[in-house]
Amino acid sequence: MDTKSKLVKVAFDEIYENGYKATSIDKILKKANMNKGSMYHFFKSKKELTLCVIEIHINNYIENKYASLLTIDDNIIDSLIKLIKTKNQYNYTYGCRLNNLVQELSSKDENFKIALEKVYFKFEEIIEKVLQNALDNNEISHPNIKDLAIYVVASIEGCLATAKKSNSSDIYISCISQLEFYLNSLKIKQ
């Protein structure tokens, strides 16, 4: 791993575990075993470093986790449900990488809001395409796939936040089961 990648990875870990405000550049540099010159060679500020974390780690996480659903040709809804119900896919101690930053930073800074919104829109877009594929495949019926995608993403994020408050995968599964119930109710009987 090159110096910049290592710095961004350590920054991601620290911000994810402690939040943006509680994470200092000194702590990041100490964990990365780097000096300030190394950091300022790549980034002008903690904010710029964090924007890079959002672009690389948060964006790639969403892409890698959910875009695989776009390659599925049948039983699309079942595959979506299986993915979101896989307990080891999520961290119930720290919560959602994306939602944590949205909650902490979106209202504080326009650049953070834009960067995080871009990732959120990508998440919604992937889920919308998945749901559109299910609709085109006559698996489900729904009058507005875009709105349904927003609802699915909001449900996943809300269930993760609910599980985080109790640090419990059981709470997540209980909550996400309601989304499963709803998605199954949209299935067209064959």
Q: With respect to residue 152, please indicate whether it lies within any of the assigned structural domains.
A: yes
Q: With respect to residue 172, please indicate whether it lies within any of the assigned structural domains.
A: yes
Contact 131, 152 (CB under 8 A): yes
Q: With respect to residue 36, please indicate whether it lies within any of the assigned structural domains.
A: no
Residues in the chain: 190
> Predicted confidence band at 88 (pLDDT cuts at 50, 70, 90)?
confident
Is residue 11 packed enough to be buried (19+ CB in 10 Å), middle (13-18) or exposed (0-12)? Answer: buried
Q: With respect to residue 1, please indicate whether it lies within any of the assigned structural domains.
A: no
If residue 170 lies in a helix (H) or strand (E), which one and from where to where?
helix 169-185
Q: With respect to residue 12, please indicate whether it lies within any of the assigned structural domains.
A: no
pTM of the model: 0.91
Angle, CA 183 vertex, CA 182 and CA 188 arms, to 5°: 115
Is it the case that residue 54 has pLDDT exceeding 80? yes
Q: With respect to residue 106, please indicate whether it lies within any of the assigned structural domains.
A: yes
Rg (CA), the chain: 18
Structure tokens at 177: 């089961």
Q: With respect to residue 18, please indicate whether it lies within any of the assigned structural domains.
A: no
Percent of the chain with pLDDT over 70: 100
Q: With respect to residue 40, please indicate whether it lies within any of the assigned structural domains.
A: no
pLDDT at 91: 87
In total, how many domains does the chain have?
1
Is it the case that residue 190 has pLDDT exceeding 90? no
Give the domain extent around 136.
Answer: 55-185
